[in-house]
Structure 1
Amino acid sequence: MSEFTSPPESPTPAEVRQAWPETVAALPVGTHVTGRVVGRQRFGVFIRIEGHANAVGLAEVGGNMPHHMELPLVGAEVGGMVVDHADHNHQIKIKLDEWTARPAGGQASV
């Protein structure tokens, strides 16, 4: 699985790097964000974060995604919580709401 669509208004790597200090300040760990999936890879999905044109979000499979869940499709609107900032590649790490809202049985938690 490797899908990537880059909307025409996507920031360049230089724009992402230049905006990084502002992005980290605006999106501290614990902040809830929403956005659109713009890419899928085996390791997770890339997200354009709403209201932050030069921010790149990544929801990784790793320890955040339950084994019974699937990655959202390109174009899907998603929400989640900022769990980390990856300074080395200027990515906002996100844990998607759907990964915490439903236990293995598929029922929403109360």
Structure 2
Amino acid sequence: MPEFSWPDRSQMPASEDIDRSWPATVSALPLGSHVTGRVVGRQPFGVFLLLDGAPNAVGLAEITAMPHPMELPDLGATVAGEVIWHADHNRQVKIRLDDWKTPR
């Protein structure tokens, strides 16, 4: 298995469904809400997630929220985190993974 891969389109919601559901996604997943999901793609900049309970939502956990020396979760891993942003331009829910939170 390659270290990096784009999400398999057969696992992803159709772009029209993501666009149509975007207002409901933002409403259902406000900033600060806790989500869980499955890693469906890994890139050098972060991981793509299919979010539980939000069938037409795509999450992205970017490495900008990942402390050193942590690593990206594996493809297929179930993860949890906090919604930190809604990227309107590409309809992504930005997530900070619980495993990436630094101790206070």
Q: TM-score, normalised by structure 1?
A: 0.86
Structure 2 gaps, min length 5: none
Q: For each residue in 1:40-68, what CA deviation from the matched residue of structure 2 results, as whole angstroms up to 9, or x when unmatched?
A: 00000000000111000000001x10011
Indicate the residue corresponding to 2:13 in structure 1. Answer: 11
Measure how far apart 1:4 and its partner are. 2.8
Contact 2:38 2:50 in 1 (8 A): yes
Of the three residues 26, 30, 33, the one matched with 1:31 is: 33
Indicate the residue corresponding to 2:76 in structure 1. Answer: 75
Measure how far apart 1:12 and its partner are. 0.7
Partner Cα distance (2:84, 2:23) in 1: 17
Matched positions, count: 102
Q: Where in structure 2 are the equivalents of 1:1-110 lying within 5 Å?
A: 1-6=3-8, 8-62=10-64, 64-100=65-101, 103=102, 109=103
SS at match of 2:37: strand
After TM superposition, the runs of 4+ consecutive aligned structure 1 residues lying more than 2 A away are: 4-10
Structure 1 gaps, min length 5: 104-108
Contact 2:7 2:48 in 1 (8 A): no
**C-alpha RMSD of matched pairs (Å):** 1.6
Partner Cα distance (1:9, 1:76) in 2: 15
What amino acid is aligned across from residue 89 of structure 2 in structure 1? H
Structure of higher CA gyration radius = 1
Measure how far apart 1:3 and its partner are. 1.3
Q: Percent identity over the alignment?
A: 53
What amino acid is aligned across from residue 78 of structure 2 in structure 1? E
Measure how far apart 1:99 and its partner are. 0.3
